[in-house]
Every structure is written in C-alpha cells, then in structure tokens.
Chains A and B, each alone.
Chain A
Amino acid sequence: MSSQAAAVIGIGQTKHKKKRDDVSLPGLVREAAQRALDDAELNWTDIDAVVLGKAPDPFEGVMMPELSMADALGANGKPMMRVHTAGSVGGSTALVATHLVQTGVHDRVLTVAYEKQAEGNAQWGLAGGRSGGMGAGGIFAPWMRTYINKSGAPEDIGWKVAVKDRQNACKNPYAHLHLPDISIEKVKESPMLWDPIHFLESCPSSDGAVAMVLTNEAGAKKAPRKPAWVLGTAMRSELGTFPGRDTVRPQAGVECAHMVFDAAGITNPREQIDIAELYVPFSWYEPMWLEGHDIAGPGEGWRMVEDGSTQITGDFPVNPSGGVLSSNPIGASGMLRFAEAALQVRGEAGEHQVADAHVGLAQAYGGAAQYFAMWVVGSSLDAVGARK
C-alpha cells in the first residue's frame, strides 16, 4: 500500500443563485477557488494540480471547458483534469483529487466543480434537444412511487424533507433558496410536477461553484485552520437500464456505502456518523438513500424523517446545509455535499453547524441512480475510533 493521509484544508463556494449574471464562467469558478485558497492561506503558485468537474457540457454550450478555464484557475504549466460522471461528478472529482494526494503524486491539489445553468438550458440538454423530455424528475418519480408503495411511507414524508432542507438553507448564506415561510401546507399545495413530486419537493436550477484544497499530512499540519481528514473514499457504478434492475435500492449504492464504511472503519453508520450530506434532489430520496446505503433498515428510512432524527438537532442530521433541494448547480452539487461534510467536521459550518460533528458522510449520485461517489471525513484521523 502506498497510501497516505489526505485532508481538506481549504473550502470555498460561491453564492448560489438562479442567475449569476455578475460573473462569467471562468469568473464563477475563480470566485470559489480563490475562497478555498484564502481559507487555506495559500497562493495560486502553491497548487500542484487542478481537477475540474461538471455535468454535461451541452448544459452551457462549452465543450471541454477545462481548456478555456485553465487560465482563470491558474493551471498553466500544471496538470489539469476534467471529470464527468453525471450527477455524481462533484463527488468523483473530489475523489480524483484526493487520490492524487493519497498516492503522493502531488502535495496540494485544487479541485473545483461548477454549473452555470442560466448560461444554457439544462432541460433542453436533458431532453437531447427533442420534444417531450422527461426531466430528471420524470425518470425518478416511478421509483419514488415504488418506494412509497413498498415501504408504506405516509405521503407527508416527502413534504417534511422539503420543509426541513429549506429551513436549514435559511441558516446557510450561500444557499440559493431562502424560503423562511416554507410550510408543509405550501409544499403540499405547490403544483405537481411529476406525480408524486410537487414543485417544492424538487431542486432549483442554480448557478454556482465550489472548490477545495486537498493536501497530505505534512501540509495539513501547516494549515492555518483545522483540517478535515479523509477517512474513506468509494466510487461505484452499475448499468442504468436492464430488465430486473432494482432502481429503488440500486446495488451500486449499497456497495459504495459498504466500501466507504469499511474504509473508514465504520461498523454502525447510524451511531458512528454525526452528520450526512446526501444528494437529495427530490425529497423522497432522503429516506430512499438512508435505506439504500444501509444507514436505516428496510422501511425505517422514512421513520427517521418522521421522528425528526434527520433534523439539524436530531441524532442523524441530513443536509444541514439545505442540500440539493436548496441549491443545485448540477456539476457542483455533489462536491458541495463533500465540502459541507468537511465544513461540519472542521466546525466551520457557521449557523448550520451541527453540534459535536466529528465524523461526516458525503454522497453524490448520478445518471439513472447508477453512479455513486462517497467519502467519510473526520475531525481527526481516529475520529471514528473515538466514536466507538
């Protein structure tokens, strides 16, 4: 094994908005990257390599944008990579950067993910330019219906998740949606987009970027602020369409969770994880992933929502940042989960900080719920052990 410790020492994100018409594409990514560097008290010249991630290029109409962003990201003369694994891309991108540090290939890596949805039209992109596009919700709605039917979950579970994440977002100044008046009633009364998904149970369409600086143990010791240590990583993919596929509890998601738990030494995720940032673009995915990643038993995920366990004050807070339901710059959404989990274990999450957060799980998924990327971060290298 030639694997060494890696840690996040700098985190930066933009204000996420419907339309960031005050910045160009390179301006958007540079804003996040500069904040991450400032957080780490490093300069552009301290960075050895840049790893960029985003969702499909046709969303903005720029092909292989790492080429034209190299200048803004200070990458000239450096290695630069561009990752694309559908919606999980923000997570996978962070993992590629982590692996570069863990294997000793580089000492300090800047990783950035973004989407500027207002620059193009994601709905058009998703539909491949054809009429009658299903939208992401159209693909996932039948699977949520199946989850509801199988688990016997009451219909208000989805509404509760929608309210909780928007209330959390009000504590996060970077979140796109700030809806202080959100209520169960409002979610329930909002238009039905894809039965059973109401408008307010869906993610917004956002412009935004996020960046992190990763380094090795020596670099982390020199960092001005507390590092978030990477305790485990995992990526897992499966075929998206074949007869008989379990779309509600995709096997790749189950395996990815077990791989990352094993890597981090987690034997009881519900007890040993203090906070989770899960990719929940539609409210029902919170209970579905709690079960789909074996954090909760079959049919128990929705009960965690119902009894308030996943609230910011609960025993297993999920998406204290407000999650994808409150900010969705698609390509960045996965990395935002990873960065928010790191902020929590660093104790730097501000108003949405979860008390005594030492072990954080982040997850991103993509495609037809077939691509998964996860990491576990901790406030120290033995954060999980200290939890036992």
Chain B
Amino acid sequence: MVNDIAIVGYAQSPSWRASELTEPQFLFPVISEAIERAGVERREIGFTCAGSCDYLSGQTFAFVMNLEAVGAWPPISESHVEMDGAWALYEAWVRLQHGDIDTALVFGSGKSSPGKPAEIYPLQMDPYTLTPLGADPVSLAALQARAMLDAGKITEREMAEIAARSRKSAIGNPYAQVSGDDDPEALLKEPYVTAPLRRHDLPPISDGACAIVLATADKAKALSKRPVWIRGIDHRIDIHQPGMRDLTESPSTRLAGKKAGVGDAKVDVAELSATFSHQEKLLCEELGLGDDVEINPSGGALAANPVMAVGLARFAEAARQIAEHGKHRVVAHATSGQALQQNLVAVLEGD
C-alpha cells in the first residue's frame, strides 16, 4: 500500500528561446516561488531531488551549480537524476513513502539554447549503431509520424489540428513560448521540415525550469486548502532500437497508465509531454483518453519545451487545473528518449 502524497506548491519560469541567465540564476526564483506557495520553510524540507542533463549545457557536473539555487547550506538530503524532473518527482515520491520526512522539493531545469539539438541528441542513441548515423529527434519523430500515417492512425490534418489547438490554448499562458490563432488549413500549406513533419508539428527550442513541493497527507492538509493528491504514478521503458519497436504504439505508456489507474475513473484533463503533434494522438490512445478529456490546456510541449523540466511542468500544469480551475481528476505525463521510448504517467486528484 502506498501513502498519499500531495503537490502543495508549484512554480515555473517562462519558456525562453535563449535566456541570458545561467541555469542556477533562472532556477533561483522558481524554487523560491514554489517553496513560498507551499507555505513551508526552506529548512523544513526533508528531501530535495533534481533533474537535469550535462549534455544540454555542454558541461560536466552541470547539476552541481544548480544546488546553489536550492541553498544547500547547512547541508540537505538531496539526490539528482539525469532525467526529466518528473523522475526527480518520482524519486521524491518514493522517498516520502518512508514516512520519516513530510516534505520534498523537486525541480527540473535545462538550457537547450547553447547547443544544437540535431548534433546533441544522436548521442542519446545506441552509440555503436545509431549515433554514427546521426539519428536526431526530428528524423526519428518523422519516422514515427510516417508509420502512424501509413497505419491509418492519424492524418496530417489531425496533426495540424493538434498543433493549432495547442497554440490557441497557449494564448494567455505566461509560461508558453509559442502561441497563436492558426487555421489548420493554413498550417497544412506550410512546407515540410522533415516530411511528414511541418514546423507546427515540432516543439520549440526552450530554456526553462519548473519546481514542485510535495508533502505527506497530514502535512499537505495542514499546508494547503486544496492539496493536489498523487493517486497513482508509474513509469516504464520500451526497447531502445527504433527498428525493433512498432513506433505506432507505446506499450510503456499503456502499462504505466494502467498501473497509475488512469482508466479507473473519469479523467477531466490531461497534460501530456507530446513534443511532436502526432505523439499526442498516440498517447491519448494508449491512455484511453477520449474526446471528453481536455488535452493540454497549457498548450503543452508544442508551446514550451524546456527539456528536463517539460515533464515536471506537466505536473505543475495538471496541479494548476485542480488547485486553480476546479478540475477533479487530471493526468500528467512525461517522456524520455526518442519517439516516446520511456514514459511516466500520474493521476492527480483534488479532494
């Protein structure tokens, strides 16, 4: 049996195309805001966990400097995953299950602006067979989209509609980088970037950060009038070699969703880390989310894609739907690797 853990504070930075601030500099106010909104004292926090990536910023031990934004003095109990901040949240959720501490701080941050994604991300693939081919995210996503089109699981028009809806939803979201009122017909007239993907099917390149404060049940009730309960959380990984996967499916998402209990009751909203338009449809299928579920009211990853924070930001946006917009049951999703290789799914609920 797992104990209920709640989100009691969350904050995000804007999503910038290129921030002139260093990662610890833009993390600093985000962490402070999340702690302040949770109403806890910084020194009360029992565990801290971060997610970031050396290769994004091109610096070994990049995460060490991020500790400065936490204020790790006097010393703190702390850990770091070289993964999206959503997995830092998972590690903290596990740590809170012990019951000996009652609050945890998690954050994710990344600066994608200094490097070139098409050069960096091939290093994330099998170093012997795929890295030398320069297997980059857009090409792999394009293969996935092509497979879905060929299988009749999506149309280019649906992809454009997903992009247009995401951009429209992002209007008024202060954390979004891309927003606008676009006609899907007009989007479909744009040239391909990497066929069958057009500009609108791709995420922006973003710098940004997100921080969340978690608390155990008693503490959450004491801290917050509207704690956001994590009712289920699970993550799974699939085979790495894209050639050995059916790219039109995501068994890891399906299984994680089942374990997290997505289908156990009606879902009001889902915040999905679909960094390419076609992935939203694939994720909805695997999670069993129907037309009655509002998808990515924030605009999602197509509107802001601060890598290493974008998955955790889905938790912040999902929590906002419950705490600020009165929604009851919201799904948050994060992904890692290319073409949805690894996926984390959580179900959040209000009281």
A contacts B directly (C-beta below 8 A): yes
Query: Which residues of chain A have a CB within 8 Å of any CB of chain B?
Result: 1-3, 24-25, 56-71, 75-86, 92, 95-96, 99-100, 102-105, 125-126, 128, 234-240, 242, 251-252, 255-256, 259, 367-368, 370-371
Contact of B75 among A56, A95, A236, A368 (CB under 8 A): A236
Q: Does B25 contact A (CB under 8 A)?
A: no
Contact A80 B342 (CB under 8 A): yes
- By beta carbon, the residue of chain B nearest A234 is B77
Contact of A79 among B67, B236, B338 (CB under 8 A): B236
Contact B75 A237 (CB under 8 A): yes
Chain B contacts of A95 at CB under 8 A?
79
Query: Which residues of chain B have a CB within 8 Å of any CB of chain A?
Result: 1-3, 48, 53-55, 59-61, 63-64, 67-68, 72-83, 87, 90-91, 94-95, 97-100, 120-121, 123-128, 130-131, 234-241, 251-252, 255, 336-338, 341-342
Contact B120 A63 (CB under 8 A): yes
Contact A64 B64 (CB under 8 A): no
A63-B126 Cα distance, complex, nearest whole Å: 10
Contact of A237 among B76, B87, B123, B234 (CB under 8 A): B76
Chain A contacts of B74 at CB under 8 A?
238, 251, 255
A258-B92 Cα distance, complex, nearest whole Å: 22
Contact of A242 among B54, B73, B87 (CB under 8 A): B73
Contact B238 A77 (CB under 8 A): yes
Contact A82 B83 (CB under 8 A): yes
Contact B78 A235 (CB under 8 A): yes
Contact A24 B236 (CB under 8 A): no
By CB atoms of chain A within 10 A, which of B74, B78, B252 has the most?
Answer: B78
Chain B contacts of A75 at CB under 8 A?
237
Chain B contacts of A92 at CB under 8 A?
79
By CB atoms of chain B within 10 A, which of A59, A81, A92, A236 has the most?
Answer: A81
Contact of B237 among A2, A78, A100 (CB under 8 A): A78
Contact A99 B80 (CB under 8 A): no
Chain A contacts of B1 at CB under 8 A?
2, 104
Could you list 11 further interchain pairs (A-B, Cβ under 8 angstroms) beyond the known A64-B337, A83-B79, A99-B94?
A2-B3, A2-B99, A59-B60, A62-B131, A67-B125, A79-B236, A80-B342, A82-B81, A96-B79, A237-B76, A256-B75
Contact A56 B61 (CB under 8 A): yes
Contact A77 B99 (CB under 8 A): no
A71-B236 Cα distance, complex, nearest whole Å: 13
Contact A237 B98 (CB under 8 A): no
Contact B91 A81 (CB under 8 A): yes
Contact of A1 among B48, B100, B341 (CB under 8 A): B100
Smallest CB-CB A-B distances: 7 pairs: A103-B97, A252-B75, A237-B78, A238-B75, A63-B123, A84-B82, A56-B60
Contact A57 B82 (CB under 8 A): yes
Contact A239 B68 (CB under 8 A): yes
A70-B83 Cα distance, complex, nearest whole Å: 14
Contact of B73 among A61, A82, A104, A238 (CB under 8 A): A238
A252-B79 Cα distance, complex, nearest whole Å: 13
- By beta carbon, the residue of chain A nearest B122 is A63
Contact A236 B54 (CB under 8 A): no
A252-B100 Cα distance, complex, nearest whole Å: 19
Q: Min CB distance, B190 to chain A, in Å?
A: 31
- By beta carbon, the residue of chain B nearest A103 is B97
Chain A contacts of B236 at CB under 8 A?
77-79
A83-B3 Cα distance, complex, nearest whole Å: 24
The 8 sampled A-B contact pairs (Cβ below 8 Å) are A56-B54, A62-B123, A63-B120, A64-B337, A70-B239, A86-B64, A236-B75, A238-B75
Contact of B98 among A61, A77, A102, A125 (CB under 8 A): A102
Given A71-B239, A100-B94, A77 and B75 touching (CB < 8 A)?
A: no
A351-B128 Cα distance, complex, nearest whole Å: 38
Contact A255 B75 (CB under 8 A): yes
Contact B64 A240 (CB under 8 A): yes
Chain A contacts of B237 at CB under 8 A?
66-67, 70, 75-80
By CB atoms of chain A within 10 A, which of B53, B60, B123, B342 has the most?
Answer: B60
Contact A239 B72 (CB under 8 A): yes
Contact B235 A79 (CB under 8 A): yes
Contact of B100 among A3, A59, A371 (CB under 8 A): A3
- By beta carbon, the residue of chain A nearest B3 is A2
Contact B80 A83 (CB under 8 A): yes
Contact of B82 among A64, A71, A240 (CB under 8 A): A64
Contact B98 A99 (CB under 8 A): yes
A77-B343 Cα distance, complex, nearest whole Å: 10
Contact B60 A125 (CB under 8 A): yes
A92-B88 Cα distance, complex, nearest whole Å: 13
Contact of A61 among B126, B127, B130, B338 (CB under 8 A): B127
A342-B126 Cα distance, complex, nearest whole Å: 33
Chain A contacts of B67 at CB under 8 A?
237, 239-240, 370
Given A58-B54, A67-B124, A128-B60, A82 and B72 touching (CB < 8 A)?
A: no
Q: Min CB distance, B247 to chain A, in Å?
A: 15
Contact B54 A76 (CB under 8 A): no
- By beta carbon, the residue of chain A nearest B255 is A77
A92-B206 Cα distance, complex, nearest whole Å: 30
